[in-house]
Amino acid sequence: MNSSFPRNINNKGRLLRGIGALALGVGAAFCFPCCVWVGVALLAGGLFLAFEALRGWCALRACGIPTKL
């Protein structure tokens, strides 16, 4: 079976994306009382980073952009 999101990052990249997702989630929690739209944007970014971390897939690498990790 061919996957739509093949793994293209290693465990170090997955860990950093997971930490980034957590940071954006915490930032979203602090921003929601002040500005809902900023909180929603941070939460959406955090959810996307969490998806990348769980799948082991990087959107930038899938588009052909080289990354250091």
Query: Which helix (H) or strand (E) segment is 13 a member of?
Result: helix 11-31
pLDDT, residue 12, reads: 93
- The pTM of this model reads 0.87
User: Mean of the pLDDT values across residues 50-63?
Assistant: 92
| 67 dihedral zone (left: phi>0; alpha: psi -120 to 50; beta) | beta
pLDDT, one tens digit per residue, over 8-56 is 899 999 999 999 999 999 999 999 999 999 999 999 999 999 999 999 9
Domain ranges of the chain: 11-62
Give dist(CA 31, CA 39) in Å, integer: 5
pLDDT, residue 62, reads: 87
User: Mean of the pLDDT values across residues 51-67?
Assistant: 90
| Torsion of the alpha carbons at 68, 64, 24 and 17, rounded to the nearest 10 | -50
